[in-house]
Structure 1
Amino acid sequence: MIHNEERKAEYYKALVEKKSDYEGIFYVGVTSTGVFCRPTCPARKPKYENCEFYETAQQALLASFRPCQRCRPLSHPNQVSDMIRVLVEAIEQNPEKRWKGQDFRALSIDESTARRQFKKRFGMTFVEYARARRMGLALKSIRSGEKIIRTQLASGYDSSSGFRDAFSRIMGAPPTRFDDSRILKAAWLDTRLGPMIAIADDNELYLLEFVDRRGLEREVERLRKRLKAAIIPGQTLPIQSIERELTDYFEGTLTEFKTPLHLVGSDFQQRVWEQLRQIPPGETRSYADIAVALGKPTAYRAAAQANGANQLAIVIPCHRVINSDGELGGYGGGIARKEWLLSHEKSGK
């Protein structure tokens, strides 16, 4: 159990505010109910004096608390529900299908519930998700040389203008402009510290960020525009690889990531990121140290900006860079996560 009063006050504030960046950092046992919860539990918040804080779910269990039935602290923070899993599998079995009410009823699923759960999980409704998969197939057909009108009809659109509008909203550009573009796939990954989004093509990983990172939408949009790429839901080998490696990393059995990376940045930024990858797990460097290593000792501010522009969290370990005075400094995923990652890596040395 955590006894530090300052830390307990910090965790209680995070509990009250349901801060997702504290997922995996602590669990709270509520003495008045006998249950323990994760930081983002939707239940009514207990009084401070009724809270005991633990670093792991196991500690809370050993203290005789039982897991909360609302936030399910023994599962991943955003574990896929059975309903979502059934629907995603149904889409993959027939991705060109246009879903109607009777299709949901055939699976004994409430359509409005599916809409809400998909919106919460993926940031889009079930219909939008299914449409994105259809559009992905449409894009593949266009790139393979099929005529646009044939693709339009196969995608379930009777109007060419409707097809173009829908295509543009999802892909970011009309179909006639995608002849030579990249296709990137995006997938949701559950981790010990909360959900992450991974974006990759068939060969390399382009982005890995915590879903609740501030400005993530703009970051993804900049990536899409810079590469003139379409980003659609899906899986690729690099995504599957990083998911396995993250699991091993959080279990403490992996210290070096080998998933192929595609770095999108200036020459200076890429040099900074290469320096970050050379920092051994369990160690830290300052922004000034990075600047000196680059042979530009006065460029510590530029090094800090390049550090903040990193789009591959954990893999390119920007969390290992701290202020010269020993303070943790900033981190896009939240200071609590940065502190946890550093502690996790030091304990594994």
Structure 2
Amino acid sequence: MITAEMKSEYYQALLDKNSEYEGVFFVGVKTTGVFCRPTCPARKPKFINCEFFDHAKQALLASFRPCQRCRPLSHPNHVSELVRLLVNAVEENPEQRWTENDFQRLSVDAATARRQFKKRFGMTFVEYARARRMGIALKEIREGKAVIDAQLSTGYESSSGFRDAFSRIMGAAPTLLGDHQVLKASWLDTRLGPMIAIADEEALYLLEFIDRRGLEREVERLRQRTKSAIIPGSTAPIRSIERELEEYFDGGRTQFATPLFLCGSPFQRMVWEHLQTIPPGHTSSYSDVAAAIGKPSAFRAVAQANGANQLAIVIPCHRVINSNGDLGGYGGGLSRKRWLLHHEKETSHLL
């Protein structure tokens, strides 16, 4: 049931186009007869003309029709045809250096491509294509190919330009990478908004909502701690967690089997391992967790370890709340934490 307090909260989220509320609610506009997602770009209605729903189906049953601007029945991060076209073009020839003529050949406006890629991936199309080229260069260097050959194959005539571009993306000059590993980063669409997954071929290192504050710093710390290059791509653990998240949001899964790499201190790993024992549909307080790991006075350190978790949902830090019953904090936003707890309470008894 959506309370009066939640309606006020949802209306403010609607005014702010707050992406943290994607999938949490839908709003029906009585004056137009349409229903929208929270981030709809259309002019905002007055509060008195809004009716809020937990699911799109409820809005349809209330005789609202889907908005043509935000398309609430499609995926909240549906890939545009332009983005799909350009991603496919890069995969067909990942070593290509794009020019204005290439965009014209595909009847694509370069400025539109830049804008849509920035919104979708957090980088421009040129940056995306460059990252793919650099990924190939890194692979060639690790396989023993000379740096100059990798430089030329990615289209750089200047060695200094190649080094600079390589360092900006990979975090180290090509000759300094040594035995550093490669992590792949992939965008995952979920019911509650897009997430980023980072993994190698063996385990998942990071899973976070794209709009989490400080995500860039998280990724940079991961890169430094693991001494890795992080490039766009997919691996078996990423494909596994994408499938498992879909099952989780559909209500068909409460436990995850994707292998995890816990990048933290021994104390943090102890906390994270315990979090995975909290049953879906249940919560624990920070004090409960501290007592369970044999350190009853370390509840503040538990809270810090909880906040340092880089594997959202999979390591269920959202199941830890304050002793007084308040939700406490959550890096993905309290609206998502509330939704996750409600979702697990509703679905855990069905499995």
User: How far does residue 289 in structure 1 lie from its aligned partner after superposition?
Assistant: 0.6
Partner of 1:346: 345
Counterparts of 1:51-200 in structure 2, within 5 Å, are 51-200=50-199
Secondary structure, counterpart of 1:183 in structure 2: strand
Alignment-mate amino acid for residue 174 of structure 2: P
Partner of 2:258: 259
Distance between the aligned counterparts of 1:176 and 1:140, measured in 2?
13
**Is this contact kept in 2: 1:132–1:170, CA < 8 A?**
yes
Distance between the aligned counterparts of 1:62 and 1:104, measured in 2?
44
Partner of 1:236: 235
**Is this contact kept in 2: 1:76–1:194, CA < 8 A?**
no
Distance between the aligned counterparts of 2:73 and 2:240, measured in 1?
24
Alignment-mate amino acid for residue 238 of structure 1: P
Distance between the aligned counterparts of 1:225 and 1:175, measured in 2?
16
Distance between the aligned counterparts of 1:3 and 1:312, measured in 2?
29
Q: Deviations over 1:4-37 (max 9, x none)?
A: 2211111101111111111111000001111111
Secondary structure, counterpart of 1:327 in structure 2: coil
Q: Deviations over 1:159-216 (max 9, x none)?
A: 0000000001111111111121010111110000000000001111000000000110
Counterparts of 1:256-335 in structure 2, within 5 Å, are 256-335=255-334
Partner of 2:200: 201
**Is this contact kept in 2: 1:8–1:53, CA < 8 A?**
yes
**Is this contact kept in 2: 1:132–1:233, CA < 8 A?**
yes
Secondary structure, counterpart of 2:229 in structure 1: strand
Partner of 1:40: 39
Alignment-mate amino acid for residue 154 of structure 2: S
Partner of 2:224: 225
User: How far does residue 106 in structure 1 lie from its aligned partner after superposition?
Assistant: 2.5
Q: Which runs of 5+ in 2 are unaligned?
A: none
Distance between the aligned counterparts of 2:161 and 2:18, measured in 1?
40
Q: Deviations over 1:298-329 (max 9, x none)?
A: 00110110010000000000000010111111
Alignment-mate amino acid for residue 167 of structure 1: F
**Is this contact kept in 2: 1:41–1:71, CA < 8 A?**
yes
Secondary structure, counterpart of 1:135 in structure 2: helix
Secondary structure, counterpart of 1:198 in structure 2: strand
Distance between the aligned counterparts of 2:22 and 2:44, measured in 1?
16
**Is this contact kept in 2: 1:202–1:237, CA < 8 A?**
yes
Partner of 1:27: 26
User: How far does residue 3 in structure 1 lie from its aligned partner after superposition?
Assistant: 5.4
TM-score by length of 1: 0.98
Distance between the aligned counterparts of 2:168 and 2:184, measured in 1?
16
Alignment-mate amino acid for residue 261 of structure 1: L
Give the length in aligned residue pairs. Answer: 348
User: How far does residue 343 in structure 1 lie from its aligned partner after superposition?
Assistant: 0.5
User: How far does residue 127 in structure 1 lie from its aligned partner after superposition?
Assistant: 0.9
Q: Which range moved further: 291-300 or 96-105?
A: 96-105
TM-score by length of 2: 0.98
Alignment-mate amino acid for residue 5 of structure 2: E
Identity over aligned pairs, percent: 71
User: How far does residue 98 in structure 1 lie from its aligned partner after superposition?
Assistant: 1.2
Distance between the aligned counterparts of 1:277 and 1:295, measured in 2?
16
Distance between the aligned counterparts of 1:295 and 1:237, measured in 2?
36
User: How far does residue 103 in structure 1 lie from its aligned partner after superposition?
Assistant: 2.0
Runs of 4+ aligned structure 1 residues displaced above 3 Å come to none
**Is this contact kept in 2: 1:142–1:179, CA < 8 A?**
no
Distance between the aligned counterparts of 2:212 and 2:118, measured in 1?
18
Q: Deviations over 1:117-139 (max 9, x none)?
A: 01111111111100100000000
**Is this contact kept in 2: 1:83–1:114, CA < 8 A?**
yes
Secondary structure, counterpart of 1:188 in structure 2: strand
Distance between the aligned counterparts of 1:209 and 1:76, measured in 2?
18
Distance between the aligned counterparts of 1:75 and 1:217, measured in 2?
28
**Alignment RMSD (CA, Å):** 0.9
Distance between the aligned counterparts of 1:90 and 1:67, measured in 2?
32
Distance between the aligned counterparts of 1:115 and 1:289, measured in 2?
48
Secondary structure, counterpart of 2:72 in structure 1: coil
Distance between the aligned counterparts of 2:125 and 2:283, measured in 1?
43
